[in-house]
Amino acid sequence: MIIRQLTILFFISFLSEIISNFLPFTFPASLMAMIILFILLSTKLLNIKYIQNVGEFLQNHIAIFFIPPAISLIDEFDTIKDKLFPILFISFVSFILTFLATAYSVKLVIKIQERIQKNGTNIK
């Protein structure tokens, strides 16, 4: 069961690598994989139960994926220490902007959903 779910996710990742390499512009394969997975799930070509266990496992252990980049930052600290303030400033500003954009997007979606429910129309 787990092997089949991993195979599906690895195949989608492999397919996204191929597609990204053939595009005439640079496009991250990981983002392409998310788009492919979204399309497959939303069109019901792929049922969520075929990847749910592996997806939950990866979601529960996501911290593991941050260890290699953190180690790389520590290894390259001498290179970036002179630019630490600008990096932290940009990170903080982008965090705040992302947070605000997400918060207002959620508020907008909630208002739209409330308006739809109030009017009695049901969009699926």
Q: Is 111 helix (H, G, I), strand (E, B) or coil?
A: helix
Model confidence pLDDT, tens digit, residues 84-122: 999 999 999 999 999 999 999 999 999 999 998 888 765
Domains of the chain, residue spans: 1-60, 75-124
Does residue 124 have a pLDDT over 80? no
Enter the pTM of the model: 0.60
73 Cβ contact list (under 8 Å, min separation 6): 80
DSSP 3-state helix, strand, coil percentages of the chain (rounded to 5)? 85, 0, 15
